[in-house]
Amino acid sequence: MKDLFGFRIVDQLQKIDIDIKRENLKYHHKRVLVSKEFTFDAAHHLHDYEGKCKNLHGHTYKVIFGISGYTDIRGLMIDFGDIKKIWKREIEIYLDHKYLNETLPAMNTTAENMVIWIFEKMDEALSSLDKSLAARVEFVKLYETPTSYAEARREWMFDE
């Protein structure tokens, strides 16, 4: 290894089947949780509400997913890129730069209602993946502002 201005540079990159065996890629047989965040901008208004939010307005929302499962033979439970694909294809299309009162199912577009819808959409999409990984949504947080969020947790959604 060379030391260049405090940075280490490896002499030789580790090679699969030479320096590490495939059976060593998976280190454990435990359930793990990965998390991925997304943002979207959208407009909405609330019905049957006497406050500022009865008027049409917008937010930059932040969504945080906690997804758990078991790792495959490589030691991966789910690729972060696959979570992003599900988000883009199945969920974001209804949310980003949309008028939520039109694009979501008939509901008051509160953070509390929306977080359940987002949870259900992601959980449904994950159920179509490799069943041996048992990938599932553990929680979803939906931030409406930087300091205000609604949360849905698996234990509140399903009796297991």
Distance (Å, whole) CA 152 – CA 113: 10
Rounded to an integer, what is the distance from CA 66 to the centroid of its chain?
6
Q: Which residues contact 115 (CB under 8 A, 6 or more apart)?
A: 140, 141, 142, 150, 151, 152
- Eight-class DSSP state of 87: I
Candidate list 53, 90, 120, 151, residue with the active-site label: 53
Candidate list 37, 97, 102, 112, residue with the active-site label: 97
Candidate list 59, 92, 138, 144, residue with the active-site label: 144
Question: Has 37 been annotated as catalytic?
Answer: no
Question: Has 144 been annotated as catalytic?
Answer: yes
Helix (H) or strand (E) holding 33: strand 31-44
Question: Has 53 been annotated as catalytic?
Answer: yes
Which segments of 45-147 are extended strands (E)? 57-70, 98-99, 136-145
End-to-end CA distance of the chain: 51
Annotated catalytic sites, by residue? 53, 97, 144
